[in-house]
C-alpha cells in the first residue's frame, strides 16, 4: 500500500466509551469477552517479546471482538489444507489529518530526513483534508489462538503492498508540505501477517484481495470509541473478504523474561480464503484533536559511529540472485545491561548510495512507523540482528551501504563499501 507523503501512526488502543442514552449498548456476550481476553493475553506475550506493532494490532482485535459481540466461523486454506478459524472484520472511516511543521520542527517521531537535516520539536498546525476508509480482517485458530491471520486493506480489490498504513495499530497523519489535500493515505493495496505463537510472524510478499461492505447499521456493545486522537461512532457491520497471499518469514527477535530469542519463523506459506461475509463493526469519525507533539530529536549522528564506545556493531552485505542481503548486528559486549529508547515503531534503517554519494535506496522511505515510544534492553552478551534485501539492478561501480539503529539515546550507524 505508497505515495510521496509521509504518514505517522500514533500507537494507542481503542478506548470504549458508551454515550448517547448513557448506556453501554447491548453489552459484551461472555464468549466475546473470553475471546477478547485471549487476544489481550496474546498481545501481552508478543509485546513482552519486543514486537509492539503486532501486539497493538492484537489489542485492537480484542476491542473489535468486544464491540461486535462475537465472531464469524470462516475457512482458511493454509498450504493447501482447509482450516476452521473464527474472524471479525472492520471498516474504519478516519480523517485525513495533514500537519504542517516549521522547517526547524519535527513531525511525530522526530528523527532526521533522508537529506540529513534534523528537525526540532517546535509547533505545527493540523487540519482535516477529507476522510478515507480502510478495512481489516483478523482470523484466528479458535482452540488455543495459536495462529492468527490479519489483513489491512484499502477498499475494493487490491494487490499486496508493504507500505499500506497498519490502521490496526494507529491512525496516520501527514506532513503538510508533501500532502495532497483530500487524497488517500497510500496507493491502493493491502498488507497481511500470519502469526504463529512461539514461532514468529510471516508477512505478505505477494497476493491479492477484494473486500466490500455488505451491510451496516446495527448496534455495537458501545456506540462510541476513542482511537488515538479521534473519537469514532460504532455501528455493527458485515463485510465480505476474499484473499490469496504468499507470506514470508519476518526477521525480528523476541525478548521474553529478559531473554532474547531469535524468531523461529522460516520459509513461506500460502494462505487463502474464498469470498466470505464476516460480521464486525464500522467506525466513523465524530471528532478529532491534533496528535501530540514529540520531544526534540537527537543530534545528527556521524556516519559509521558507535556513540557509546560500549557497543559492537557490524554490517554485512552478500549478493544472492540479483539481490543484496544486508545484515546489521548490534551487540552488548559489556558486563552490564544496555537500554535503547525508541521514539517510534522504527528500530533500524538501511540505505544505499552510488559512487558519487547520491542516494539510491532507503529502506524506511514511505514506510509507516507507529508512534510507540518504547525501550529495549540488551543483557550482557546479547545482540540485535536486522536483515533486509534490496535489488540494485544495473547500478554500476561501488556501492556504499549504510545501516543504523533508530534509538534516540544510543544511536548506532555502520557504513561499508561494496565493490561490484
Residue 75 is predicted with a pLDDT of 98
Tell me how far apart the alpha carbons of residues 388 and 418 are, in angstroms, rounded to a whole number.
Answer: 16
**Are residues 273 and 74 in contact, defined by beta-carbon separation less than 8 angstroms?**
yes
CB atoms within 10 A of CB 263: 18
Instruction: Locate the DSSP E strands across 183-337.
Output: 190-196, 200-218, 224-227, 230-249, 253-256, 259-262, 268-288, 312-320, 323-331
Show the cell assigned to 375: 525501550
The predicted structure's pLDDT at residue 233 = 96
pLDDT in tens, 85-96: 999 999 999 887
| Ordered structural domains, the chain, with CATH | 7-288 (no CATH), 312-418 (2.60.40.2360)
Question: Which single residue is written with the C-alpha cell 485471549?
Answer: 38
pLDDT given for residue 9 in this prediction: 42
For residue 48, what pLDDT is reported? 55
pLDDT of residue 241: 98
Residue 186, pLDDT score: 52
Task: Find how far residue 400's CA is from the centre of its chain.
Answer: 28
Given a contact cutoff of 8 angstroms between Cβ atoms, the answer to whether 111 and 371 are in contact is no
Give the long-range contacts of residues 38-43, CB within 8 A, separation 24 or more: 38/145, 39/65, 39/140, 39/145, 42/145, 42/148, 42/197
Q: Provide the sign of the torsion angle of the four alpha carbons 253, 254, 255, 261, taken in this order.
A: negative
Kindly report the length of the chain: 420
Q: What is the pLDDT of residue 300?
A: 47
pTM: 0.65
At 410, list the grid cell: 544510543
Burial code of 93-132, b = ≥16 C-beta within 10 A, e = fewer? ebbbbbbbbeeebbbbbbbbeeeeebbebeebebeebeeb
Of residues 52, 47, 43, the one with CA closest to residue 9: 52
DSSP state for residue 177 in the 8-state scheme: G
d(Cα 367, Cα 362) in Å, to the nearest integer? Answer: 10
| pLDDT confidence of residue 249 | 82
pLDDT at 219: 94
CB 356 within 8 A of CB 122: no
> What does the alpha-carbon distance between residue 390 and residue 315 come to, in Å, rounded to a whole number?
14
Q: What is the mean pLDDT of each run of 10 residues along the chain (420 residues)?
A: 34 50 51 92 71 79 94 97 97 80 43 31 64 94 94 95 80 48 58 87 91 95 88 96 92 44 77 98 89 51 54 88 90 84 80 88 74 70 90 85 85 84
CB-neighbour burial class of residue 186 (10 A; exposed 0-12, middle 13-18, buried 19+): buried
| Gap between the terminal Cα atoms of the chain | 32
Per the CB < 8 A criterion, the answer to whether 350 and 418 are in contact is no
Per the prediction, the chain carries an average pLDDT of: 77
Q: How far is CA 371 from the centre of its chain?
A: 10
- CA–CA separation, 57 and 373 (whole Å): 16
Amino acid at each position: 500500500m505508497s505515495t510521496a507523503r509521509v504518514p505517522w501512526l500514533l500507537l494507542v488502543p481503542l478506548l470504549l466509551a458508551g454515550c448517547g442514552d448513557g448506556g453501554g449498548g447491548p453489552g459484551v456476550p461472555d464468549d466475546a469477552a473470553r475471546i477478547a481476553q485471549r487476544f489481550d493475553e496474546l498481545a501481552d506475550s508478543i509485546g513482552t517479546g519486543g514486537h509492539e506493532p503486532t501486539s497493538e494490532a492484537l489489542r485492537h482485535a480484542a476491542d473489535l471482538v468486544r464491540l461486535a459481540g462475537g465472531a464469524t466461523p470462516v475457512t482458511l486454506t493454509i498450504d493447501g489444507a482447509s482450516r476452521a478459524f473464527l474472524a471479525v472484520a472492520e471498516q474504519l472511516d478516519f480523517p485525513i489529518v495533514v500537519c504542517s511543521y516549521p522547517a526547524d520542527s519535527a513531525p511525530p517521531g522526530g528523527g532526521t530526513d533522508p537529506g540529513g537535516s534534523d528537525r526540532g520539536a517546535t509547533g505545527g498546525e493540523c487540519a482535516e483534508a477529507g476522510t478515507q476508509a480502510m478495512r481489516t480482517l483478523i482470523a484466528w485458530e479458535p482452540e488455543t489462538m495459536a495462529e492468527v491471520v490479519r489483513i489491512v486493506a484499502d477498499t475494493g480489490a487490491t494487490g499486496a503492498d508493504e507500505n499500506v498504513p497498519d490502521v490496526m495499530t494507529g491512525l496516520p497523519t501527514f506532513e503538510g508540505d508533501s500532502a495532497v489535500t483530500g487524497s488517500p493515505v497510500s496507493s491502493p493495496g493491502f498488507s497481511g501477517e500470519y502469526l504463529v505463537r512461539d514461532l514468529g510472524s510471516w508477512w505478505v510478499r505477494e497476493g491479492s484481495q477484494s473486500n466490500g461492505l455488505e451491510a451496516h447499521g446495527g448496534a455495537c456493545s458501545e456506540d462510541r470509541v476513542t482511537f488515538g486522537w479521534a473519537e469514532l461512532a460504532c455501528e455493527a457491520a458485515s463485510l465480505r473478504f476474499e484473499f490469496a497471499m504468499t507470506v514470508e518469514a519476518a526477521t525480528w527477535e523476541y525478548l521474553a523474561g529478559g531473554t532474547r530469542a531469535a524468531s523461529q519463523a522460516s520459509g513461506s506459506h500460502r494462505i487463502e480464503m474464498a469470498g466470505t461475509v464476516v460480521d464486525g463493526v464500522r467506525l466513523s469519525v465524530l471528532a478529532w484533536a491534533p496528535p501530540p507533539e514529540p520531544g526534540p530529536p537527537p543530534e545528527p549522528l556521524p556516519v559509521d559511529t558507535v556513540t557509546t564506545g560500549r557497543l559492537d556493531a557490524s554490517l554485512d552485505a552478500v549478493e544472492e540472485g540479483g539481490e543484496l542481503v544486508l545484515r546489521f548486528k548490534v551487540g552488548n559486549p559489556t558486563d552490564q545491561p544496555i537500554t535503547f529508547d525508541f521514539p517510534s515503531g522504527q528500530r533500524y534503517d538501511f540505505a544505499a548510495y552510488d559512487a558519487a554519494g547520491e542516494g539510491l535506496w532507503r529502506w524506511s522511505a514511505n514506510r509507516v512507523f507507529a508512534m510507540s515510544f518504547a525501550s529495549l534492553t540488551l543483557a550482557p552478551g546479547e545482540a540485535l540482528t536486522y536483515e533486509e534485501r534490496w535489488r540494485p539492478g544495473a547500478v554500476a561501480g561501488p556501492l556504499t551501504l549504510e545501516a543504523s539503529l533508530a534509538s534516540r539515546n544510543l544511536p548506532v550507524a555502520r557504513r561499508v563499501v561494496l565493490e561490484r
